[in-house]
A = this chain, B = another copy of it.
Amino acid sequence: MEVLGLMTAPKMDVAKVTLRDVAERVGLSVSAVSQALLDGPRIGTETKARVREAAEELGYVTNSAGRALRARRADAVALIVPNTSQHVFGHSYFMHVLTGVTDAANSREAQLVISTNVDEQHGKAAYDRVMRSGSVDGAIVTSAAVDDEGIAQLVSSGVPVVLLGGFPVLPDAVSVGIDDVAASYAATEHVVRDHGRRSVVHISGPLDHQAAIDRRDGFIAAAEHYGATFEVVEGDFDEESGDAAAVSIQRREGVDGVVAANDEMAFGAMRRLAADGHDVPRRISIVGFDDFGLARVTTPAITTVRVPAEEMARLATDRLFDLIGGVRFTGPDAHAVLPTELVVRQSCGCP
């Protein structure tokens, strides 16, 4: 700065320092400076140091558009949240995912673009544009409905994409998820085997979502295996639908166990049952699914399945960068399954 010892304007005009300015400063060509900053092999060690120093002093920051245009790489990834998912998944799920993704993206110095869809109509267009405009190098897609055309198309178009969460297995897709069937089986097992409940109801998620389907199937398998009578009521992952399900449960005689496909519905059901005078957890066991925060703070606290959303997101992002880097995942390698854990609290009847 203090070139002439003059008072220079303190307001250095943002984003105006280009490679040429740096080049002039060190008396080199623009390309030499570019190569120096990229640590190219054909530039002298001492020159690199001089260039870096000058760049630092001038406050040079690579213009992302220029780089993206020429290098055909945006150094950015998108987190795509189909509108359906946005509605279906609560806030907390998304937060965990976001934490994991930002973490991984940050450590690669990549930017993170959030892409949600405004409405069903322009749904496809939204992420399609993001991908095709070249503003990101790849995307993480959080669970969409099983019949989501756009996602399937996105995957088959060859752009680097990693699916996150309970997905219909698109054979060509790379995905990170959990074993919803097994986890739901374990939760149900705890209710019917460990607590001896004989008549259980499952409050499922919307059954056009793979996670909802799998959790229901795990429930049914366990109920059948242990010879409990059971029924499935379809909800939509919202607290209100848990409440509604609890109303219908009360019309049924002798229900002593409720397995919900997520914690919000479990909470809705629990609150309704308690309000209507049922003794939870003594007479009725309730378990949830997710453990994204809610289950821990209710009274009684909800026994649930911990879904490692943050780790999933981190792994998904790592794989995405691998994909972008040219790595190809094939066969079973393409589908990572992370372990879940039954978190025993009080809503099931445990002390």
- Which residues of the other chain, B, contact A59 by a CB distance below 8 angstroms? 132
> Does A11 belong to the interface (CB within 8 Å)?
yes
Number of residues on chain A facing chain B (CB within 8 A): 53
- Which residues of the other chain, B, contact A157 by a CB distance below 8 angstroms? 11-12, 14
**Contact indicator B116/A114 (Cβ below 8 Å):** no
| Residues A122-157 near B (CB distance < 8 A) | 126, 128-135, 156-157
Report the minimum CB–CB distance from A297 to chain B (whole Å).
6
CA distance A141 to B63 in the complex (A): 22
Report the minimum CB–CB distance from A314 to chain B (whole Å).
14
> Does A92 belong to the interface (CB within 8 Å)?
yes
- Which residues of the other chain, B, contact A96 by a CB distance below 8 angstroms? 91
Q: Beta-carbon contacts of A112-126 to B below 8 Å, as 1s and 0s?
A: 111110100000001
**Contact indicator B112/A114 (Cβ below 8 Å):** yes
Q: Beta-carbon contacts of A30-62 to B below 8 Å, as 1s and 0s?
A: 000000000000000000000000000001011
**Contact indicator B11/A133 (Cβ below 8 Å):** no
Q: A116-B102, A298-B298, A298-B299 are contacts. A133–B95 as well, Cβ < 8 Å? A: no
Interface-located stretch among A66-74, A191-199, A223-231: A66-74
> Does A182 belong to the interface (CB within 8 Å)?
no
**Contact indicator A62/B102 (Cβ below 8 Å):** no
- Which residues of the other chain, B, contact A267 by a CB distance below 8 angstroms? 297
**Contact indicator B158/A11 (Cβ below 8 Å):** yes
Q: A98-B114, A112-B114, A114-B112 are contacts. A134–B64 as well, Cβ < 8 Å? A: yes
> Does A293 belong to the interface (CB within 8 Å)?
yes
- Partner of A74 from the list B65, B126, B134 (CB cut-off 8 Å) is B65
**Contact indicator A113/B113 (Cβ below 8 Å):** yes
Q: Beta-carbon contacts of A152-167 to B below 8 Å, as 1s and 0s?
A: 0000111100000000
- Which residues of the other chain, B, contact A156 by a CB distance below 8 angstroms? 11
